[in-house]
Amino acid sequence: MDDLYREVILDHYKNPQYRGELDPHDLSFEDENPLCGDHLRIDLRVDEDGTVREALFSGHGCAISQASADLLVESIIGKKIDSLKTMTKEDVLDLLGFDELGPVRLKCALLSLKVLKGGLYGISGSDEVIDLEE
Amino acid sequence: MDDLYREVILDHYKNPQYRGELDPHDLSFEDENPLCGDHLRIDLRVDEDGTVREALFSGHGCAISQASADLLVESIIGKKIDSLKTMTKEDVLDLLGFDELGPVRLKCALLSLKVLKGGLYGISGSDEVIDLEE
Amino acid sequence: MFNTQKILNDFPILTRPGANGLPLCYLDSGATSQRPNQVVAAAARFYTEINANVHRGVYRISEEATEAYESAREKIRAFLNAGSTREIIFTSGTTEAINLVARSWGAKNLNSGDRVVVTEFEHHSNLVPWQMLAAEKEIVLDVIPVLDDGTLDLDVYRELLKLGPKLIAVSGMSNVLGTIPPLESMIPAAHEAGALVLVDGAQLVPHLKTDVRVLDADFLVFSGHKMLAPTGIGVLYGKETLLKEMPPFFGGGDMIRKVFLRSFTVADLPYKFEAGTKPIAQAVGLGAAIDYLNLLGMDQVAAHEHELTLRAIESLQAVPGLTIYGPLGGNRGSAVSFTIEGIHPHDIASLLDREGICVRAGHHCAMPIHDRFRIPATTRASFYLYNTEADIERLCSGLKKVVSIFA
Amino acid sequence: MFNTQKILNDFPILTRPGANGLPLCYLDSGATSQRPNQVVAAAARFYTEINANVHRGVYRISEEATEAYESAREKIRAFLNAGSTREIIFTSGTTEAINLVARSWGAKNLNSGDRVVVTEFEHHSNLVPWQMLAAEKEIVLDVIPVLDDGTLDLDVYRELLKLGPKLIAVSGMSNVLGTIPPLESMIPAAHEAGALVLVDGAQLVPHLKTDVRVLDADFLVFSGHKMLAPTGIGVLYGKETLLKEMPPFFGGGDMIRKVFLRSFTVADLPYKFEAGTKPIAQAVGLGAAIDYLNLLGMDQVAAHEHELTLRAIESLQAVPGLTIYGPLGGNRGSAVSFTIEGIHPHDIASLLDREGICVRAGHHCAMPIHDRFRIPATTRASFYLYNTEADIERLCSGLKKVVSIFA
Ligand SMILES: Cc1ncc(COP(=O)(O)O)c(C=O)c1O
Ligand SMILES: Cc1ncc(COP(=O)(O)O)c(C=O)c1O
């Protein structure tokens, strides 16, 4: 818990590198955390071979969800879109440098993954895409 | 509690003096204790001046409710019908010689009074005629 | 070995000497069980250490409370061998759970002329909700009769299945007769006929290992208070595919995803059916009760009870004028109801109470089965894991005394 | 004098030092209160001394259990100054109580085109049940808007009354804004217009002396867990004349007079609405909570909280960038919700948690009022009788630290 608000997290929150909207874009996913009303959107431009060329996020949320979105978006640029389907909760926690997180803040941290995966699988509004209770 | 099954109660149960039906009768009331399915009926023959001349009870129930019915019926013979409306829970407990009774057995003891009063007031099937919770 | 002495130490109410110097002889577990120290302590510990409302709270004790609540759900899932915690809905008890199914599943899936099958020995809680629905929606209520030996008339059941009922609502163990219907054949037959099955497990789950996947029950409901847990908590198990399609029941906090002034969207399972602040400490208590039962082993519990029950039936039959209703042997539950010629059940119970023996007298919330046997009431003794042979001896000698008083 | 030190001794969870050496600073009583030793002990004593099912039992502990349960009902009756215990229905909580009224009273009395009035600050539990009914029965839901200062727009209320609504469902105290609507004028106005009034007392009853006969409320509902009592218990008060005419809600044991295979007759009040085994030990706990509140005196409790709340509002306003939603003074409740510019409520709550301070972050089960103020979420501090000025100092210095971290 004690490094939940480490300098790096606050930095990504205050000065996000990948904040914005892509217009036009190839893919755009959005979802929210109904617990706190946080809303997140991720826009992607994808190469013909399926590689993510550009990505940005927009919306509003807490420091954890925003830092998570900034880090996640950074991490997916240059990757094959298909490979993203296998991203896990642990991958995101690794990006954030968290060992573990209480269930409520976990939902904040994983909102970006939920948006991404919900979009890739064509489902939204369901926590079941990534089983948050696991 | 210890004198709940005194000889006199058992006596009235085993050898009731006022058990039977009056045919013809002037008044006949019946009701039941839904808790245990006990059923009681009281038949009356009433003089022109409103005096109870004859009374009998019928039905089935536990020793307490049957002894209570036998004693109550005995006690109302010769009384003015109007005066019976003022009979109380305490009167019946006095007849039975009980100081106090748990709530469930109280309903047994008071079934006869409930039948009588329900009949006199023209209401049946309602515990509210005599407030048993008082 | 089943160590009843060790068990009794966990139930102080059963060892303290009463007015007559003897400890309580508690034979009314069919109405509600006693609770071991471990369960009372678990609920108290919740209040004094991590008490907070669950979900949505980001501070530490709220997260701990949420974890305690959700881990109770997981314990129940494992106890029933359900596939997912999404299938475990906390309710206030069996009665609420059945009403939930009647109102939510029933409202959506039952229409005028549809048939629901119950049995003649159902508890009012598994009868009245269907009667209410029958009156509102003009569905037809069919009844499986009970035979003289207390078992179900399965020939009639097979005939009723041919009428294409939508649901069979059946108790897994009669709280009056102790009958255990053959669910292992009744459920597949119902499914074959296209009907779903709701098992009222109020008497089953506390006493016999219940595996929802082996049974293949569509719904299973039970109460905590009959299985060592606090009052105020119960469970609805439902197959996820069914629960998913059912409309929400209670509206309120926690069962929603989003609320606008004139509309709302619904939360995922199991929360969709858990509106408002739930009995949190009681759920934690139920978790502790399950730990206790698991430690003893449900098979051991069932074996102990079965032995006691057969012994009781044998001894009771030696009491003059006594008639037992329900199966006299075989695979039957521990509720033993009886009458004694010429003595009213209330008088029996009152007189036994003087000896510190607690039995129930009345219709046990199952009037129709009493009507069936043309009796207004019975006296019932029911056993649980803390009962001993000494309890049975006290019961039988108490009854003999009763008989002599009324002789 | 209100002796908070003496009070704190009854709440061990509030005095034990936490990780940082400081005791818990619990500012989330709006979600659920803490419970004093007296309440936890009363429930535990029930289990270890007189545990049995109530009503119908003729043996001693069952009669004692029944008496404990019914005397809790009488305590509640007296606490609310209701006319009769027949008007006091035990439920599992506020949410069940509102759904009961919606489904039972509403099903009978509301028809297509009828209007029900709610407010913009209702808790989801007093909104969603009416939305569900609106969808099922095509009734019209009208909303009293909330003004910028957090009070109700009573001009609109007067206009809405002219449309002849059947029911006004209004919170006696907003759990987000702390607003206390002027029930003393709103209820007579509703009655004059021919409407009944349901008061959601979940936040009102724990904090302010509530006299149903002075208020002349038709229905009043509340939860035990927000007023020192166990989880899993709540109350529906209803005027006897209304309850009498309402159809039963849950079907099951205890709410019946007689049951046949295909019909039943209904028990008298209050049992008509108490199907199945109720939260008995929790009702007894609620009785103990009321004893505790009576001993302190509800007027003293209210005065203490009001002083704390005004002090909190004053101190909070000194935190840079902080905005409070709801009345800043006057007769208002102790829920104080706020935002801080540029810092998300979840981050505020997480950072305060490090200091052992428990506040809630989110929509507090009242999304529409957040939409009204165009904010997705707030942070809420809420006070109860065990809070002290030291708690407020810790909250405010904690918030200043949060602000500096995000600066
Ligand atoms: C105003 C209000 N109404 C209703 C409720 C719902 O109460 P419960 O969750 O105990 O059913 C709450 C509690 O959060 C509340 O604050
Ligand atoms: C077979 C059966 N079904 C349902 C119930 C009702 O359970 P509860 O009163 O806990 O809701 C009981 C308990 O008496 C029962 O024995």
pLDDT cut 70: percent of chain A above it: 90
Q: Which residues of chain D are within 8 Å of residue C143 when distances are taken between CB atoms?
A: 261
Residue range C254-261: average pLDDT?
92
Q: Do chains B and A touch (3 or more CB pairs under 8 A)?
A: no
Residue range C109-131: average pLDDT?
98
Cβ D91 under 6 angstroms from ligand 1: no
b or e along D373-396 (b: 16 or more beta carbons within 10 Å of the residue's beta carbon)? bebbbbbbbbbbbbbbeebbebbb
Mean pLDDT of chain C: 96
Asked if pLDDT for residue B134 goes beyond 70, the answer is no
Ligand 2 center to residue C223 CA distance, Å?
7
Distance CA C79, CA C73 (A): 10
- pLDDT grade for A2, boundaries at 50, 70 and 90: low
Tell me which long-range contacts B78-82 makes (C-beta under 8 A, separation of at least 24).
B78/B51, B78/B52, B78/B53, B79/B51, B79/B52, B80/B49, B80/B50, B80/B51, B80/B52, B81/B27, B81/B44, B81/B46, B81/B50, B81/B51, B81/B52, B81/B120, B82/B50
Asked if pLDDT for residue C19 goes beyond 90, the answer is no
Residue to mutate, C123, C170, C219, C220, ligand 2, most ligand atoms under 8 Å from C-beta: C123
Domains and CATH numbers, chain D: 4-29+297-406 (3.90.1150.10), 41-295 (3.40.640.10)
Asked if pLDDT for residue B1 goes beyond 60, the answer is no
Mean pLDDT of chain A: 87
- pLDDT grade for B127, boundaries at 50, 70 and 90: very low
SS3 content of chain D, % helix, strand, coil (to 5): 45, 15, 40
pLDDT at B34: 76
- pLDDT grade for B123, boundaries at 50, 70 and 90: low
pLDDT at C6: 94
Residue range C292-299: average pLDDT?
98
Asked if pLDDT for residue A36 goes beyond 80, the answer is no
D265 exposed, middle or buried (CB, 10 Å; 0-12, 13-18, 19+)? exposed
Asked if pLDDT for residue B128 goes beyond 50, the answer is no
Distance CA C111, CA D284 (A): 42
Write the single-letter amino acid at A115.
V
- Report the catalytic residues of D: 365
Q: What is the pTM of this model?
A: 0.95
Q: Give the domain ranges of chain A.
A: 3-124
Cis peptide before C188 (omega within 30 of 0): no
Q: Is A64's Cβ below 8 Å from some Cβ in D?
A: yes
For residues C312 and C337, is the Cβ–Cβ distance under 8 A?
no
CA distances from B126 to B31, C49, C124, D222, D296 (A): 9, 47, 21, 29, 40
Residue range A65-92: average pLDDT?
94
D39, D349, D362: residue with CB nearest C59: D349
pLDDT at A34: 76
pLDDT digit string, tens, across residues C65-93: 999 999 999 999 999 999 999 999 999 99
- pLDDT grade for A126, boundaries at 50, 70 and 90: very low
Cβ C253 under 6 angstroms from ligand 1: yes
Which residues does chain D have with pLDDT short of 50? none
Residue range C336-352: average pLDDT?
96
Asked if pLDDT for residue B129 goes beyond 50, the answer is no
Mutate to test the interface with D, among A1, A3, A5 (most CBs of D within 10 A): A5
Which residues line the pocket of ligand 2, CB cutoff 6 A? Answer: C 93-95, 123, 125-126, 171, 175, 200, 202-203, 223, 225, 365; D 253, 276-277
Q: Is A8's Cβ below 8 Å from some Cβ in D?
A: no
Cβ D223 under 6 angstroms from ligand 1: yes
- pLDDT grade for A123, boundaries at 50, 70 and 90: low
Asked if pLDDT for residue A35 goes beyond 80, the answer is no
pLDDT at D187: 98
Phi first, then psi: give them for residue B101, nearest 5 degrees.
-150, 145
Asked if pLDDT for residue B126 goes beyond 80, the answer is no
pLDDT cut 90: percent of chain C above it: 94
Q: Is B126's Cβ below 8 Å from some Cβ in D?
A: yes
Q: Three-state SS string across chain A, please? A: CCCCCCHHHHHHHHCCCCECCCCCCCEEEEEEECCCCEEEEEEEEECCCCEEEEEEEEEECCHHHHHHHHHHHHHHCCCEHHHHHHCCHHHHHHHHCCCCCCHHHHHHHHHHHHHHHHHHCCCCCCHHHCCCCC
pLDDT at B119: 86
pLDDT at D17: 84
pLDDT at C302: 97
Asked if pLDDT for residue A132 goes beyond 60, the answer is no
CB within 8 Å: B37 and C406: no
Asked if pLDDT for residue C99 goes beyond 80, the answer is yes
| DSSP state for residue C250 in the 8-state scheme | S
For residues C216 and D267, is the Cβ–Cβ distance under 8 A?
no
Task: Please state which CATH class domain A3-124 belongs to.
Answer: alpha beta
ipTM of predicted assembly, 2 dp: 0.93
